[in-house]
Amino acid sequence: MDIPRYWRLKDQRYRLQGKKCLDCGNLSFPPRLVCPKCKSRNYEKYFFIGKGTVYSHTTIYQAPDRFDHIAPYSVGLIDLEEGVRITAQFTDVPAEELKIGMKVEMVIRQIYEDGPKGPILYGYKFRPVISV
C-alpha cells in the first residue's frame, strides 16, 4: 500500500470530501483542480451527504488479489443526491437484491488489508438505506 497516498486521501475516502466551485457552484468528486464546467480554480471543500440511488451495478466473482477475501462482491455507479455520479462497492446486500434505482447510503468499511502486517484501508461503500 502507498501509505502517503492513503493518508493524503483519507478525507475523500472517509467523508466523501469533494469540491464546490465558488464561481458556478459545480460540485465534483473526486475533487478536481480546475472546475470542469467553468474552468475556475476557485473552490471550497464540500462533504457529500452520502445518499443516492443505484445507477448501475455488477458483481465481481474473479477479484484482484487484494479483494479476493471478500469476493464475490458488487460494485456500481451511484447517483448522489447532489447530482454527482461516483463509483463504489456495495455492501450488506446480496447481489440478487441489488436493483437500479435502489436508494443507498454511504457507510465506512474496510476496503482491504495490506496483508497480515500492513495497514488496513478504510473507506466508503454503499448499502440499502436503513438510517432515518
Partner 1 sequence: MSAVMKPLRNIGIIGYGAYIPVYRLPATEISELWRDGQDNLFLPVKQKSVPGKDEDTITMSIEAAQNALKRAQIDATKIRAIWIGSESHPYAVKPSGTVVAQVLGIVPDILSADMEFACKAGTEAMQAASAFVGSGMGDYALAIGMDTAQGRPGDALEYTAAAGGAAYIIGPAEESLAILEGSYSFVTDTPDFFRRAYQHYPEHGNRFTGDPAYFKHITGSVTKLLEGLNLEPSDFAAAVFHQPNSKFPQKIAKQLGFTSEQIKHGLLAPYIGNTYAGASPLGLTDVLDYSKPGDRVLIASFGSGAGSDAFSFIVTDKIKDAVKRAPLTQDYIGRSIKIDYSRYARWRKKINR
| Residues forming the site for Zn ion (CB under 5 A) | 21, 23-24, 26, 35, 37-38, 40
Among residues 40, 5, 6, the alpha carbon closest in space to that of 21 is found at 40
CA 132 to chain centre: 21
Residue 79 has, within 13 A of its CA and on its CB side, a CA count of 9
CB of 62 to partner 1, least distance (A): 13
Torsion, Cα of 57, 62, 65, 66 (10° steps): 20
Q: Does 109 bind partner 1 (CB under 8 A)?
A: yes
For the segment 43-102, give every residue that binds partner 1 (CB under 8 A). 47, 68-70, 91-92, 94
Cell triple for residue 34? 480546475
Q: Which CB atom, from 33 or from 132, has the smaller least distance to Zn ion?
A: 33
Nearest distance in Å: CB 37, partner 1 = 27
37 vs 103, beta carbon nearer Zn ion: 37
Closest to Zn ion by CB, 30 or 119: 30
62-64-69-71 Cα dihedral, nearest 10 degrees: -30
Dist. CA 48–CA 32, nearest whole Å: 15
Partner from Zn ion, partner 1, none contacting 81, C-beta within 5 to 8 A by type: none
Asked if 111 touches partner 1 (CB under 8 A), the answer is: yes
